[in-house]
Amino acid sequence: MIYILKFIAAFLLPPGLFVLLGIILSVYLWRRRQNFGRFAFSLSAVLTLLLYLSSTLLGAKLLGQPLENRYSQQQPASAQVIVVLGGGSVGSVPDGTERGGLMSAGAARLLTAARLAKQHSLPVLISGGQVFSDGASEALVAKRILLQLGLPQEQIIVETQARTTKENAAYSAALCRERGYKNVLLLTSALHMPRSMQFFERYLGEQGIKVVAYPCDYTLNPQGKFNPRWLVPQLQAFDITCMALHEYVGMAGAFLQRR
CA angle 204, 161, 211 (to 5 degrees): 20
- Report the alpha-carbon distance of residue 111 to residue 114 in Å, rounded: 5
Cβ(168)–Cβ(160) under 8 Å? no
- pTM value is 0.92
- Report the alpha-carbon distance of residue 213 to residue 196 in Å, rounded: 9
Residue by residue, pLDDT tens for the chain (259 residues) are 787 888 889 999 999 999 999 999 999 999 999 999 999 999 999 999 999 999 999 999 999 999 999 999 998 889 999 999 999 888 888 888 788 889 999 999 999 999 999 999 999 999 999 888 777 889 999 999 999 999 999 999 999 999 999 999 999 999 999 999 999 999 999 999 999 999 999 999 999 999 999 999 999 998 878 888 999 999 999 999 999 999 999 999 988 877 6
